[in-house]
Structure 1
Amino acid sequence: MEAAYTTTGDRPAPVLGGRRSARRTHRRDIDGLRGLAIALVVVFHVFVGKVSAGVDVFLLIGGIFFFAPQIRNALNPAGLTVVQSVLRIVQRLYPALLTVVSLVMLLALVVYQVSRWAQAGGDAASSLLYVQNLHLAAAGAEYSAVNRDVSLFQHIWSMSVQLQIYLGSLLVIVVFAAVSRWRGRTGGRLLHRTLSVATVLSFAYAVWLGAHDQAMNYYSPFSRFWEIGLGGLFGLWMVGRGIPWVWRWLRWPAGVLGLLLIVATGLFLDGAAQFPGPWTLVPLVGAVLVIAAGTPVLEPDGDRVRAAAEGRTVGSVGVTRLLEGRFFQFLGRISYSLYLWHWPLLVLATYLFSASAGTRGQGDGLAGITATLGTGRGVAVGTGVVVLSLVAAWLTHRYVETPLRQKGKPERSWMLWDRRYWAALLRSRAKVVTVAVLVVATAAVLSSERLVQVHTAGPALVVGEDSPEYDDYPGPQAFLEDAPVPDGVDVRPAAVWNKETMLPETALDGCLVEVEGEDLVLTHDQGSSDVPCVYGDTDSDRTMYLAGGSHSEHFLPALDIIGKERGIRVVPMVKMGCVLGMRIERMRGGDYGECYTWQDKATGYILDNPPTDGVFMTTTRPTARTGAGPDQVPDGYVDVVRRFSEAGIHTWGVRDNPWRQNNGELGNSMLCVADGGDPGECGPSAAELLEDNPALEAYRGLDITHVDLTAAYCRDGVCPAVVGNVLVYRDGNHFTPAWSAMLAPELSRQMYHPDSVEDLRRTVAEAVRATDGAGDGATAPALAPKDVRRLPKPEPVPEPGWVGPGYVDQGWVAPGWAEPAYAPPY
């Protein structure tokens, strides 16, 4: 978020564009602009809950003070080596980051339930490795994201982007400078032109990617490069020069206009949906105007820059004078540490003081603490967060940043094989202790996620009526057969995220197609292994396809058991967030071309290699993208089943389960249970389902067997998160593998020995219909379509793929459905 820079000194600046720039002086107004930027970030995070312009201003300023010094250094044969340059950046940024991350992890162990520790550890590790941006972007499409709550370290994405850009740019600068020296050229002009071209290309890429995948666009270093590159170009062209005397009157209006553009960004623009696209120019142009307004004025003869004693330029006016004041100077000095501290303290405070924080699914992160806690309480808690952040930031700046900051310019050295360097390091006890502490703390944080998972996974649950634990864990039989459920038994699997206990084997084996993939995966490890992706009776000649997205896939444990019992080989044909038969957009909008290509390949493969025992797939889906009901049947689903029927392929059509709703958004049942919530309140509402399965009419006349397991997990209008002491959901809508496996007997019965359709209708209606708790006095819930947030249909509307009026597809749904992880925090 902040680049190490020093602008003081009396060395002559390089010749740029044929003119020698004026003597470089310390720009206190830019320090103040940092203070303004961090103030916007904190205020908008705590009290507004929207993207401010602060981070984009930071990126621009970082570019200003990165490219010019690094280019000068690389062109100087006596300059620092690339190893020293990297170490200088890391030494400036990493100690404070490690300090904050380590202390926040300790706070998380005290404040959070055990269920949240592993996620916090994974996010902390991504932050220390400076890949948090990639971690968050992948989480939106990653199978294991499981509708995560807002991350404690979500804000570190911008620092990860910045360091990735710095390191990549530094390598390019060093290589170009070396080539230029080898060819006997100065190389400065070539590097400047290269930076210009790279900035323009990055901007064009950001515009393109924003229309196709805004989630990735927001976090991509390639999309964000142009903001830093623009700062670099501005620094090379403007910073260090003076404003001509005749233009001095423009400083005051330029500063005011620039300030207005920066502040207005967070109020009138939707940065989460629009940045780093063209609208990002609004705050960046504002920052450029503010910096230009603070540029010293040349004397009438143009020979030197007018400067006053104590580093304050003569004639500082308007916004410049404001930024050079004590308040913004103080904020500018602690801006890096303040940025590190404010977000995790805000998240922890919201968790502590809000009863619903554990299951919020709001896509834009925390919607302002006043929206969560109410005005009075929110203002009080938010103010406390700001004050505590300021204190923690000052202490971190005073006792970590300042003492460990590199003093002066060291002698040129490659360090790694420099005996003098290592001898000097080992002679200093303070340096040895500091390095040892950094290494130990880093190792502890990086290993925390795995350590938590190992010690909190709990014993595995052996499923089946023959299991010695069946009496304690009847699971779905508690609803289907009124099996007794003992009290005082720990829920299994434990409500702690662990891939081994929460994901089906397809995910663990790499037998599903990821979001960016469009080819079929028929062998383990995304097709790179020779081990075939088959389950059930793997040696059988009989075949069944498990087809679709995650809501088909979470039935794999049950089908694996059925396949072994009936001698059927189960072949998964699944892709993240994709289904067969209909056009689906990405969750954050944009064309999901990989899905369409995969659909054609999967459908073609099934038709060219027809199964002996049919295709298993979901036949309904919710109305809204958040999973809100009622459930409906898209025309595209019917069309693909019709194609299978015409080809002589039978379909096993399972009704989709309800999704947990929380304040109009997708909730997380597992975290709700882990936080001590009532299992009935933590689960979805059966009101998200129609009393009559809509698939029964939609597929009439086709070769399909309807399966409806609603009665196994819903009763009297409630679908608890725990049934028969077994955890039903790994998030807010996907079954745990243990629960899915325990559905095998009922699933097999409905597939091969079904009741009459009327018996099935009656059983499901009783499960969905709310009662007074005594089994009589039934009161049906309102099942009309709700006023929910929906995504528009793509234009033109593809055919087939959409049902009639009233249905709006909710967009592609990644397995695990990780909306919060997609959400930019600012």
Structure 2
Amino acid sequence: MPTAVRTRGTTIARAHFRTDIQGLRAVAVLLVLVYHAGFAVPGGFVGVDVFFVISGFLITNHLLAEISATGRLDFARFYARRARRILPASFLVLILTVIVAHFLLPPALVAGMVRDAIATALYFPNILFAIDGTNYLAETAPSLFQHYWSLGVEEQFYLLWPLALVALWLLTRRSKKVLVGCVSVLVVASLVLGVILTYQSQPWAFFSLPSRAWELGTGALVAIVGPRLLARLGGMPAAILGWIGLAAIVGSGFILNSTTAFPGFAAILPVAGAGLAVLCGEQAGRQGPGVLLSTRPMQFLGTISYSLYLVHWPLLILPTQLGGQSVTLPWFVTGFLAVLAVVLAWAMYRWVENPFRQSKALTKRRPRVTLFAAASVSLFAVVLALGVGAAARNAPSSSDQKAQDPTSLIANPTFTDFVPTNMVPSIAAASTDIPLIYGDGCHYDVSKTTVQNCVYGDSQSTTTVALFGDSHAAQWFPALLELAQQHSFRLEVYTKSSCPSFTVEILENGVPYSACDQWRAAVIDHLKVEQPDVIVLSNLGDYPDQGPGGIATELWTSGLTTTVRTLPPSSHILVISDTPAFTGTPALCLSVHLNDADACSRPRADALDENRAAAEKAASESAGATVLDVNDFLCTQQQCGVIIGSTLVYRDSHHLTATFAKELAPEVWTGLGPLLPQ
């Protein structure tokens, strides 16, 4: 039977506890947990979408009950209740994660995560991650607070939806039909926005409230129209629809994967499934999915699902970052950590989440007491993060030795086996040691398609060199600029993030990177008119997010040949082979190996795909291009090190620092010089 609560003299009906929804929470958190643990559920991220639908349903149900009963909404009471429900466990995990990271992770990594922690404490981590997602320079380890993005979306929804619902209730004169129409318009508008952003700016589609609001709105619609729809459904139809909904949720976890354009249209499957399951779960009785969702294991996991969601991510990610290099944990280790997460979640639910939610010290006091406490803990978390960040920035960043030998370009180099006090760039500055073209707008981000005439060196020279490719072409700009200034030639730059100059189809966040195809074609047309003396091509050796195995070597070399043969025949083509790649950012590794830099090196056979490079060389020469391979200056026959002389070689896992690239100018000249007019 429904229970009731009394507020300000008015009785508000409260629906009884729904075991089927508790079981759906278990399904959602299991999908996320198994996905993050790396097991065979490639679309487990849809568990978050299920949580969104459930939240939209439950919150709207409660708000409508209060509005219907009282004609008003006690906003302070609502926000205080939400704060008691979600913030104690959330802040506990946040604070403990910051403290553990301070003691266990590389200082350089901790310093970079401070802003994530602050954004989380201030309830906008999703916005920060959306901004980072559009920044190609964000070649960093996964944030320990990345999973808080969904809480950011929900917290922003909790802030805005009560205001919007009251406004709609008043504007529609309490007509549920009109209210349904208004909410439906909002849902459709949000869905359309999400689909558009998925193809134009996927990080904003994934992380922002406006593009995710339709999922919460779907739950809201179920809350509004559910009773009327259920009155027309019998038990068996409801059971069938409920099973279809559950199958859609679980099925989407196996059908979707990291190459899916998501959220986009693909999110409709799990969201519709969750909507059906929530709508029909109670009416279906024991014939519906509730018979499975109401079992004790599912009820247990549903009960601890919030705490489990909070604790599982840092528990799985922390061990992979301990040495400063991203490592893949064995399946049995991740399995153990997943089980440990369940145990910790149970403890947190029992001694943190539930006690705070039912605390008489808070529930019997005015809502402002709870809200003041929440603001105080938020401020404490910010101060703690700032303190940990300051400590990380002040941690030792080099050994006590100075590199005696200047950086020299020799094949089979000798690597410096410690972090010298005179290393350039420093560990802290490594990620910002980037080419000039990143700051002046001449290196394009993923959205731009037009051709911009960026000229450097001697702009009046009759000798022209053009640089064309992705960020691995852009990394050679410092060397080419040095040569342009030394030898007085005109340097033109055409580079774009994640967009190779070779004619191959690229996926960007699971969707065809059409902006790349348009830009590449426009640049080639422009070069046909310009007819530079030399066109320098360089690209990332492979794009591993293009599906299993990445881009096949045959397609890659075919795309290379197509581009070379499409460029003006009067231009000489110089192809610079790709440089080594590491499993993590070398600077982070060095921050915990100040006196053992060799620990951050990588075997040459792993850092370079020599077979692919050989195929690329053969295809280039067959098409009439010249190939320049500088990797013997970066690696011995066995190892690829990270410090040569006093110079740090890499700014992240696969880009050279601008400083080291400039020092390679003489070697680049050995390939470029003979191709220029004498």
TM tier, shorter chain? Answer: 0.7 to 0.9
- Change in 2 beyond 3 A, CA 1:34/1:574: same
1:373 corresponding residue in structure 2: 330
Alignment RMSD, CA only? 4.9
Note if contact 2:239-2:280 (Cα within 8 Å) is conserved in structure 1: no
For 2:104 and 2:599, the matched residues in 1 are separated by: 20
SS at match of 2:493: strand
Note if contact 1:117-1:452 (Cα within 8 Å) is conserved in structure 2: no
For 2:231 and 2:6, the matched residues in 1 are separated by: 19
2:39 corresponding residue in structure 1: 48
Note if contact 2:455-2:491 (Cα within 8 Å) is conserved in structure 1: yes
The answer to whether structure 1 residue 514 and structure 2 residue 465 are counterparts is: no
Q: 2:486 aligns with which of 552, 556, 565?
A: 565
1:294 corresponding residue in structure 2: 282
Alignment map for 1:429-440 (pairs within 5 Å): 435-440=375-380
The answer to whether structure 1 residue 383 and structure 2 residue 339 are counterparts is: yes
SS at match of 2:137: helix
Question: TM-score of the superposition, structure 2-length normalised?
Answer: 0.78
- Change in 2 beyond 3 A, CA 1:325/1:585: closer
Amino acid at match of 2:108: S
SS at match of 2:444: coil
Question: TM-score of the superposition, structure 1-length normalised?
Answer: 0.66
CA positional deviation for 1:60: 1.2
SS at match of 1:143: coil
1:153 corresponding residue in structure 2: 145
For 1:668 and 1:587, the matched residues in 2 are separated by: 22
Moved more, 430-439 or 547-556: 430-439
Alignment map for 1:625-704 (pairs within 5 Å): 634-638=557-561, 640-642=563-565, 644-646=567-569, 648-660=570-582, 669-671=586-588, 676=593, 678-681=599-602, 684-689=606-611, 694-695=616-617, 698-699=620-621
For 1:381 and 1:104, the matched residues in 2 are separated by: 15
Alignment map for 1:607-618 (pairs within 5 Å): 607-608=528-529, 614-618=534-538
Q: 1:602 aligns with which of 493, 510, 523?
A: 523
Larger Rg: 1
- Change in 2 beyond 3 A, CA 1:62/1:404: farther
Count of residues in correspondence between the two structures:
659
**Which ranges in structure 1 are unaligned for 5 or more consecutive residues?**
1-5, 12-21, 297-314, 361-365, 367-371, 412-424, 460-467, 523-532, 756-826
Moved more, 556-565 or 263-272: 263-272
For 1:332 and 1:620, the matched residues in 2 are separated by: 44
- Change in 2 beyond 3 A, CA 1:655/1:385: same
1:552 corresponding residue in structure 2: 473
Residue-by-residue CA offset, 1:486-511 (whole Å, 9 max, x unaligned) = 76746945785656644222224443
CA positional deviation for 1:553: 0.4
For 1:484 and 1:248, the matched residues in 2 are separated by: 73
For 1:516 and 1:447, the matched residues in 2 are separated by: 37
Amino acid at match of 2:577: R
Residue-by-residue CA offset, 1:541-598 (whole Å, 9 max, x unaligned) = 9764432210110112222322333344544322111233524322444222222332
CA positional deviation for 1:77: 9.7
1:359 corresponding residue in structure 2: 326
1:16 corresponding residue in structure 2: none
2:666 corresponding residue in structure 1: 745
Alignment map for 1:82-93 (pairs within 5 Å): 89=82, 92-93=85-86
Note if contact 1:31-1:333 (Cα within 8 Å) is conserved in structure 2: no
- Change in 2 beyond 3 A, CA 1:271/1:170: farther
For 1:235 and 1:607, the matched residues in 2 are separated by: 61
- Change in 2 beyond 3 A, CA 1:545/1:25: same
For 1:33 and 1:484, the matched residues in 2 are separated by: 57
- Change in 2 beyond 3 A, CA 1:752/1:221: same
For 1:209 and 1:433, the matched residues in 2 are separated by: 37
Determine which structure has the larger helix proportion and give its number: 2
For 1:162 and 1:432, the matched residues in 2 are separated by: 20
Residue-by-residue CA offset, 1:20-78 (whole Å, 9 max, x unaligned) = xx954233425633652465246524483634454232111111123355567789996
1:307 corresponding residue in structure 2: none
Amino acid at match of 2:480: L
1:113 corresponding residue in structure 2: 106
SS at match of 1:678: helix
Alignment map for 1:30-179 (pairs within 5 Å): 32-33=22-23, 35-37=25-27, 40-41=30-31, 44=34, 45-46=36-37, 48=39, 50=41, 51-52=43-44, 54-70=47-63, 79-80=72-73, 89=82, 92-94=85-87, 96-133=89-126, 135-136=128-129, 139=132, 141-146=134-139, 148-167=140-159, 169=161, 172-173=164-165, 176=168
Q: 1:347 aligns with which of 317, 333, 348?
A: 317
Amino acid at match of 2:17: R
- Change in 2 beyond 3 A, CA 1:559/1:238: same
- Change in 2 beyond 3 A, CA 1:43/1:563: closer
1:27 corresponding residue in structure 2: 17
Identity %: 24
Amino acid at match of 2:100: L
For 1:227 and 1:640, the matched residues in 2 are separated by: 43
Note if contact 1:207-1:278 (Cα within 8 Å) is conserved in structure 2: no
For 2:258 and 2:64, the matched residues in 1 are separated by: 32
2:351 corresponding residue in structure 1: 395
For 2:63 and 2:613, the matched residues in 1 are separated by: 67
For 2:40 and 2:556, the matched residues in 1 are separated by: 36
**Which ranges in structure 2 are unaligned for 5 or more consecutive residues?**
none
1:285 corresponding residue in structure 2: 273
Moved more, 37-46 or 621-630: 621-630
Alignment map for 1:138-537 (pairs within 5 Å): 139=132, 141-146=134-139, 148-167=140-159, 169=161, 172-173=164-165, 176=168, 180=171, 185-186=173-174, 188-203=176-191, 218-219=206-207, 221-238=209-226, 247=234, 262=249, 266=253, 270=257, 273=260, 276=263, 277-278=265-266, 280-281=268-269, 284-285=272-273, 288-289=276-277, 292-295=280-283, 320=290, 331-349=301-319, 358-360=325-327, 372-375=329-332, 378-398=334-354, 400-403=356-359, 407=363, 435-445=375-385, 451=390, 454-455=393-394, 471-474=404-407, 476-477=409-410, 479=411, 489=420, 492-493=423-424, 496=427, 498=429, 501-520=432-451, 535-536=456-457
CA positional deviation for 1:741: 2.0
SS at match of 2:602: helix
Note if contact 1:471-1:485 (Cα within 8 Å) is conserved in structure 2: no
For 1:327 and 1:161, the matched residues in 2 are separated by: 29
SS at match of 1:48: coil
Amino acid at match of 1:359: S
- Change in 2 beyond 3 A, CA 1:620/1:266: closer
Note if contact 2:117-2:382 (Cα within 8 Å) is conserved in structure 1: no
Note if contact 1:254-1:290 (Cα within 8 Å) is conserved in structure 2: no
For 2:418 and 2:47, the matched residues in 1 are separated by: 52
SS at match of 1:617: strand
